[in-house]
Chain A
Amino acid sequence: MTGTTTSTSAPESPRRSARRLARDLPPWPVALLAGIGVVLFALPLVGLVARAPWTGLWTHLSSRFVVDAAVLSVVSSIAAAAVAALVGVPLAWVLARVSFPGRSAIRALVTLPMVLPPVVGGAALLFALGRRGVVGGPLHDATGLLLPYSIWGVILANAFVATPLVILTVEGALRNLDRRYEHAAATLGASRLRVLWRVTLPMIGPALGVAVVVAWARALGEFGATVTFAGSLGGRTQTLPLAVFVALESNRDAAVAISLVLVALSLGLLIALSDRWWPSR
């Protein structure tokens, strides 16, 4: 009894801790390939920074063309994230909690936009909701509402690609949640809706937060579906990524300036979130 306590509480010998350190070092092929990976991702950034018009940066960023695109991007991406959360969370709850035939098919359907080329998604939206689309035609005839080539179209295209991220993240969090917390709430008299609102959602709060931010980031960077479904009309549907694409033809310095802003924003976001994804042990 006393023997075991002394051996565990004895300070570790220096040789043993050195050996443990050596075990944490990667074998050289792993280190080499990992290094190549880092270069692969760093190189474009270096190119962007090297090409940046540092002196005229502010002039470029404050031009009407860029400001319009930025405002549109911020508004539409936030709206898209809100739509993604509003639709994605209930969908995730159903997928995680209700067992019904065809559940796998439904899950595949609602997460399809994650693997679909965004351009195809945008085209599909157009065929469905365009002026001559299956639903868009009657909708336009009845209400005069036209989704493509409007900010509504931008939001819809963004939400289309961003919602699957919310669904997958939240469904995973719901499956990992200990159901006994919901059971405890129910025995305390909480209705099912109150359990969801007061217990389930707060308990998956961190995952939900990550899901919404990731959805927002995906919406902010969305290009393919947006350009196909909503076009690239300056001041109306031209978001920052579209503005970069257009500027590459006409005003390369402005394109680089916008790109830098997007890179800085994304990088800041990832660093802020890294603690949630990989909590330091």
Chain B
Amino acid sequence: MSSDDSGAMSATSNAAGGLQADIQLRRGEFELDVSLSVEAGETAALLGPNGAGKSTIVAAIAGLLPLDGGVVRLAGRVLDDPADGVFVPPEGRRIGVVFQDQVLFGHLNALDNVAFGLTSRGMRRAPARELAQDWLDAMDLGELGHRRPRALSGGQRQRVALARALACEPDLLVADEPLGSLDVTARNRLRRNLAAHLSSGRSGGTALPAAPRHGAGDVPRLLITHDPTDAFVLADRVHILEDGRLTQSGTPVELRRSPATAYAADLSGINLVRGTARDGEISVTTDNATPSQPGRHPAVVLHAADTSMFGAVLATIHPRAIALHRERPSGSPRNVWRTTAEAVEPLGDITRVLLGSPLQLTADITPGAAHELLIRPGTTLWVSVKATEVELAPDARD
């Protein structure tokens, strides 16, 4: 495997600012063998179920766990290469890590937590605190610098952790389940915040007004998560990790088009639809909808059970929640429209149907049902989705 990898790596290594990690590790029975690269300015997501080895990869990249084999290279510098006897300890790596559950220092206030990395790298206390205050301001935490972590909310703690990691101007930002421990409201708010800080200008005016020199703009970013929504919303590239190996890598669109494993199929099929919500009606406005008459009428209106949300939203529909019919169905589902099947892909226990105009969605049905409905590319179908299956979250990229 190593000869293949070195070839793949030299191909990407001209991205001097990026991360190239070829990680081989054995922990008891568990074996990890992963090749991963993140280019400068790119946000990559490492998506996998619990126990797949995500945290071990974080530890290996951060230098908390020496490799058994392989090599970790960041910004043109070799950080770990057991074959060559090279090992740079974590304090010498310039990798900002946002740990799961934040791991903020409980004996320091928020300001000193953010300043910790700066003073560790030799900055004097006063300027370090000034800079830390700028970072807190950029995270809308300007007033809370004196608070200890336990006096902050989960979302606030997460932003302090992000500020602490970014303040050192790392060569790589690693965020391990940054949204994992938060409740739904905090999650939605922070996802928006993260999108602003993680994206490389995709969201227009990338935040961090007060952040001096640079934000996270050209830094490679690695997001570790088990939540496909986080991965697909926040990342440019998604790597799927199962049982210590990468089973698939690609853009969110590529993964959705051709998932390689059942797990990938399950994760990547999640339909994300952007739109504007008003009283439980979502006017679908973005790329999912076919722009029939741009600027005039929204292509599709989706009904959602949640009527509390207004403005830009992200609607999530699970592919299994979409029912397909040959005739116009009558019944309780509020969302019914006519469409055509664009592609039909058998994926083992399920058959995935990619639906075309007016709203490109992925639907998973049983192979039996697909056979009975005689679905082929070009088949005209009726789609029904219950309003209760349309889940809403504020759009992170708003």
Contact = CB atoms under 8 A, between A and B. Distances in A.
Interface string B69-90: 0000000000000000000011
Given A184-B99, A205-B107, A191 B91 contact: yes
A58 interface: no
B116 A198 contact: yes
| Size bin of chain A's contact surface | 10 to 19
A141 B232 CA distance: 78
A127 to B, nearest CB: 45
B120 A185 contact: yes
Contacts of A199: 105
B91 A181 contact: no
Interface in A137-161: none
A37 to B, nearest CB: 37
B56 to A, nearest CB: 13
A183 B107 contact: no
A180 interface: yes
| Size bin of chain B's contact surface | 20 to 34
A185 B94 CA distance: 12
Contacts of A44: none
B97 interface: yes
B117 A189 contact: yes
A199 B164 CA distance: 15
A189 B121 contact: yes
B46 to A, nearest CB: 17
Given A187-B96, A188-B164, A181 B117 contact: no
A186 B64 contact: yes
A188 B103 contact: no
B168 to A, nearest CB: 6
- Please report whether the interface of chain B is mostly helix, strand, loop or mixed according to DSSP: mixed
Contact of B97 (A181, A187, A191, A205): A187
Interface string A164-194: 0000000000000010110111111111101
Contacts of A180: 99, 103
Contact of A188 (B64, B89, B116): B116
A187 B93 contact: yes
B95 interface: yes
A11 to B, nearest CB: 27
A272 to B, nearest CB: 21
A183 B176 CA distance: 14
Contact of B168 (A189, A194, A202): A189
B329 interface: no
A32 B327 CA distance: 82
B116 A181 contact: no
B106 interface: yes
B224 interface: no
A191 to B, nearest CB: 6
A185 B120 CA distance: 9
A186 B105 contact: no
A188 B117 contact: yes
B62 A183 contact: yes
Residue from A186, A187, A194 whose CB has the most chain B CB atoms within 10 Å? A187
Contacts of B96: 187-188
7 contacts: A180-B103, A183-B64, A187-B95, A188-B120, A189-B92, A189-B120, A190-B120
